[in-house]
């Protein structure tokens, strides 16, 4: 019996679309704009499995927010660097929006549970556009990791967004899907002291998604 030809519509065969990997590092973990905001954003544009552009954006909120002492990203935070290199939040947002509008897919880890709400608040502050219009672009590698762990696959006609939402609020004690755990599962070398820095986390997530594309029919 001859083998079936590959389904070229699957993302593993996609060589033309632009994938924007986006990660926010914030002052704490709450999701209210009065108490939390991003201090750092990392952006990496990938096409044909190659990084074609990398940006780090530092937000200068002029002292409005205080870094939480137990925040894992605090180890990378420098108020001096923020004052020297940080941009006005509106300018940082506009730079991010420009990249989002250029991409075909927006990739992040735990994006639909955390980063999307950070993005939502930035939209509320600085744009008349509706952030919801960009949700169909999102690929959340945490949702995909849960699908893989539960041995679930996307059906042929199921929208990728719908497939991911199936796992958005799933919880099982002992089931791990964080970047550090997935890195070990996939044999990706990670220096723990470099995690929770946006660009470094994106480099890890790119490798994770490249593995996941071959485990799921997406």
Which among 24, 7, 15 is positioned nearest to 47, based on CA atoms? 15
Q: What percent of the chain has pLDDT over 70?
A: 97
For 91-107, what is the mean pLDDT?
A: 98
Domain spans of the chain? 11-212
pLDDT for position 159: 97
Mean pLDDT of the chain: 95
H or E element: which one contains 184? helix 179-186
The CATH architecture assigned to 11-212 reads: 2-Layer Sandwich (3.30)
Is 55 a residue whose pLDDT tops 70? Answer: yes
- This model's pTM is above 0.85: yes
For 7-28, what is the mean pLDDT?
A: 95
């Amino acid at each position: 019996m001859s083998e079936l030809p590959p389904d070229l519509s699957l993302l593993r065969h996609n060589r033309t679309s632009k994938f924007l990997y986006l990660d926010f590092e914030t002052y704490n973990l709450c999701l209210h704009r009065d108490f939390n905001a991003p201090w750092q954003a990392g952006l990496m544009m990938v096409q044909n499995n190659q990084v074609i552009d990398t940006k780090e954006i530092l937000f200068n909120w002029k002292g409005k927010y205080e870094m939480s002492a137990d925040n894992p990203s605090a180890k990378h935070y420098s108020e001096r660097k923020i004052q020297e290199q940080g941009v006005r939040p509106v300018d940082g947002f506009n730079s991010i929006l420009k990249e989002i509008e250029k991409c075909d897919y927006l990739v992040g880890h735990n994006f639909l549970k955390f980063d999307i709400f950070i993005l939502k608040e930035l939209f509320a502050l600085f744009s008349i556009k509706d952030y919801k219009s960009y949700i169909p672009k999102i690929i959340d590698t945490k949702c995909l990791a849960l699908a893989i762990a539960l041995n679930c696959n996307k059906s042929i006609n199921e929208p990728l967004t719908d497939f991911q939402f199936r796992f958005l609020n799933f919880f099982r004690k002992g089931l791990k899907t964080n970047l550090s755990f997935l890195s070990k599962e996939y044999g990706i070398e990670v220096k723990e002291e470099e995690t929770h820095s946006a660009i470094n986390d994106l480099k890890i997530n790119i490798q994770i998604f490249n593995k996941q594309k071959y485990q799921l029919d997406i």
